[in-house]
Amino acid sequence: MVSNTLHTSNPSTPNSTASRSMCICFYLLLRSLQIARSCTFPSSRAVLRCGLHTHIEVHSDIPIGAGLGSSAAFSVAAATTFLILSGCLSIESDFTPNRQQCGLIQSLAHEAEVITHGKPSGLDTAVSVHGGGIYFERHTSTPVLHRINIPSGDWNILIVNSNVSRSTGEVVQAVADRRRRQTTAVDDLLQKIGELSKKAFDVLNGSEACLTKLTPLIRKNQQLLVSLDVSCLAVDEIISELCRFGLTAKLTGAGRGGCVIAVALNSCGYEQALQLMRSKSLWAKVVRGFAAGVHVLRTSACLSAP
């Protein structure tokens, strides 16, 4: 029922994002209470079971529908919250969930992503939960996720929003339609993209991960995405302008709009590119690559259940 409500809602209405978020929260509330009933050691601070009022605020600067996994980030944060409120996770102090707890959070958040997207890969959810980098590999119906072991903060990434909205489903369908017409050509492009991804994984997971080895792979990947017809004029122009400052960039997400990600061999390039993008009224931000995953902070305004 929740899925049907989401898929029949009008995405153009001003409150559609809020409505969808509320549907997801309602689902996660019910599921977390259900899970709590089977928890071996449920927390005594189960706010929802104590009948206390709960106020939840969501703060995020992640652009929505721009290929940055905003829905997965929200689902992970919401799943963690309701697991805490239901007593499945304790919040006696600040903490980073352990492996078993991360598995529970990831599983519940993935359920929410299935409601939102239908058949998500699980990659965005895994990254939001565990942090760092993840290499996604699918040769069968069951995907395999490999961790990329790079210390947090060692890399910076510039993200630029093209301000071109697009539907992930429509882009995926367009590629599928072209594949039916040009099976050999599209399969060849997809194979080359997969091979480049594997090379990037080997570089990043190697003993000497470096941008000088990664940047040619990023550049070639974007060329293949252009050939696959999932880029667009706005994205191509941003990539070209970033190149002037020594940055290597590619689209991220489904393509045909959304965001561009870029890396530079020196920090000066980031600042100059950032100023240019913002002068064009484009959302742009430099973030730490391979940052940490889900973490819970207890504040003075936090839970006060007995």
Residue ranges per structural domain of the chain: 2-131, 155-289
Phi, psi (deg, nearest 5) at residue 155 = -130, 145
Q: How far is CA 14 from the centre of its chain?
A: 23
Tell me whether strands 155-161 and 144-148 are parallel, antiparallel or unpaired.
Answer: unpaired
The answer to whether residue 124 is catalytic is yes
Q: Using one digit for the tens of pLDDT, what is the confidence trace for 35-50?
A: 888 766 555 455 555 5
Confidence grade of residue 161 (pLDDT, cut at 50, 70, 90): very high
Euclidean distance between CA atoms 66 and 258, whole angstroms: 4
C-alpha dist (Å) from residue 59 to 62, 76, 78, 173: 9, 14, 12, 32
Give the residue-averaged pLDDT of 117-135.
87
Nearest to 219, CA basis, from 150, 183, 265: 265
Which range in 94-103, 108-117, 174-183 is most confidently predicted, on average pLDDT? Answer: 174-183
Report the candidate in 31, 17, 150 with the shortest Cα–Cα distance to residue 71: 17
Whether the Cβ atoms of residue 139 and residue 225 lie closer than 8 Å to each other: no
Q: Which of 293, 302, 305, 299 is nearest to 79 (CA)?
A: 293
As a whole number of angstroms, the distance between CA 162 and CA 3 comes to: 29
Question: Catalytic: which of 61, 94, 124, 202?
Answer: 124
CATH class of 2-131: alpha beta
- What sign for the dihedral angle of Cα 103, 107, 109, 114? positive
The CATH architecture to which 155-289 belongs is: 2-Layer Sandwich (3.30)
Task: Please name the residue ranges forming H helices in the chain.
Answer: 2-8, 16-36, 70-85, 99-117, 123-130, 168-181, 183-204, 211-227, 233-243, 267-279
Confidence class for position 305, pLDDT limits 50, 70, 90: very low
Tell which wins on pLDDT, 46 or 262. 262
Q: What is the pLDDT of residue 64?
A: 80
* Residue, of 198 and 144, whose pLDDT is higher: 198
At residue 209, does pLDDT exceed 70?
Answer: no
Q: Report how far residue 76's alpha carbon sits from residue 92's, in angstroms, rounded to the nearest whole number.
A: 20
Non-local (6+) Cβ contacts of 194 within 8 A are: none
Residue 286's nearest CA partner among 301, 273, 297, 303 is 273
pLDDT value at residue 273: 94
Tokens of 78: 């919401």
Please state, in angstroms and rounded to a whole number, the distance separating the CA atoms of residues 274 and 285.
7
Report the alpha-carbon distance of residue 50 to residue 305 in Å, rounded: 7
Is the model's pTM score more than 0.85? no
Residue 300, pLDDT above cutoff 70: no
